[in-house]
Amino acid sequence: MADGVEGYLRASELSRDRVEDARTLLKEGQEIEAKFIGVDRKNRTISLSIKAKDAAEEAEAIKGYARDAATAVPTLGDLLKEQMENQGD
């Protein structure tokens, strides 16, 4: 991050699971991967979320799986077309 900009990560944004104290999972200054979720220009702070990053990655993985599954499974129309073509031979 830029000098003079602080990133805040609320305990509620650490995980889907309830976290009472963020210090049990992270230490101040520790590098993490998180999603940017907001900015406070006046106080020069940004809000971050590990939970949102994980959800976005999960959604992308599901989209990829659905896309792969859709192309791998033939439709009823595909099967009927194949049968009709084979009958003509």
Domain ranges of the chain: 7-86
Residues 24-37 have a mean pLDDT of: 88
Q: Which pTM was predicted?
A: 0.63
- Cα Rg for the chain, rounded, in angstroms? 24
C-beta atoms surrounding 48 within 10 Å: 22
Q: In this structure, what DSSP letter does residue 23 have? A: G
Decide if pLDDT at 10 tops 90: no
pLDDT at residue 54, as a whole number: 95
User: To which H or E segment does residue 68 belong?
Assistant: helix 50-72
Residue type, 39: V
